[in-house]
Amino acid sequence: MSEKTSKQQREISRLIEHFSNQDGVHPTPIPSLFLIRESIITEPISRVNEPSFCIILQGEKEMLLGEERFLYGAGHYIVASVDLPVTGQVIKASTESPYLALKLEFTSGQILEVLNEADIQSDQRKNAKRAMFVSEVEPSLLDAVLRLASLLKNPKHIPVLAPLFKKEIIYWILQSPHGEALEQMALEGSNGSRIRGVIDHIVNNYEEPFRIEELTQIANMSASSLHRHFKEVTAMSPIQFQKQLRLQEARRLLLSDSTDIANVAFKVGYESQSQFSREYSRMFGFPPRVDINRLRENYV
């Protein structure tokens, strides 16, 4: 790592520390930009990861997508190009050296805008790529991130400059070795884009049962092609994807409300409480009531 890169990382770290004086995820005056700080090793947290870019300046984190494990630390970034149910855990952090990260959310429309303006030639026929990847940060990308984060010190410039710097960040990700994965999700008619349509449908209707014929119509693919491309993008089958969404939402509801387990199971789409409890235990390691009591005790 060059001295310039090290200096840029330290500057971004100082900005995160300055504008996030406690642990957690902190929104900023820059639309879709969040600062993240954790001074302890966290519990594994399951949630839907929106399309986003997240650069780590300090500490380490582990992300699980299906059975696939992503490990990343300082000098790396992780990209999700579609909504994905994941489980993340900060695995290296301390009071003296907290986990520090910067997250920028984006849309497929913003990616497509950059593709068009940069006249990047794309091939719709390519196979879909995994919708999550980890990469080492390049100096050009780090420089754009620093300029975006530095606007927090001069908020009057945010309306004009933030959209430009965000475009530049997307541009440099598209230029990276993994850029094709981002490109395919935005390119209308590509296999990745068609799978994104199926993902959007499942995310928006996770509590409803689906027929595979319904999904093949959305994707305009055969059942075998749908399963192959869906698993390539998400590391899961459509049924496994839906199950993770249901169980994540059930956990959120149980944590936020005193609603009984049977009602929550029904609300997220389960007809059998016993099946719900079995699948919940398999995913989170504890039966629902034990898990919720344990989490509440930890966060009191």
Domains of the chain by residue range: 3-185, 240-299
Q: Give the separation between CA 253 and CA 31, rounded to whole angstroms.
A: 27
**Domain 3-185, architecture per CATH:** Sandwich (2.60)
- Looking at residue 300, its pLDDT comes to 47
Contact 241, 274 (CB under 8 A): no
Q: Which stretches within 72-138 are classed as H helix?
A: 108-117
Angle of the 139-150 helix axis to the 3-19 helix axis, nearest 10: 30
Contact 193, 184 (CB under 8 A): yes
- Looking at residue 228, its pLDDT comes to 94
- The listed CATH number (3.40.50.360, 3.30.460.40, 1.10.10.60, 3.30.70.330) that belongs to domain 240-299: 1.10.10.60
Q: Give the separation between CA 171 and CA 111, rounded to whole angstroms.
A: 8
The mean pLDDT values, 10 residues at a time, for the chain of 300 residues are 85 95 94 96 91 96 94 95 95 96 95 86 70 94 97 97 97 92 85 93 95 95 95 96 96 83 94 94 92 76
Residues 6+ apart with CB under 8 A from 259: 253, 267
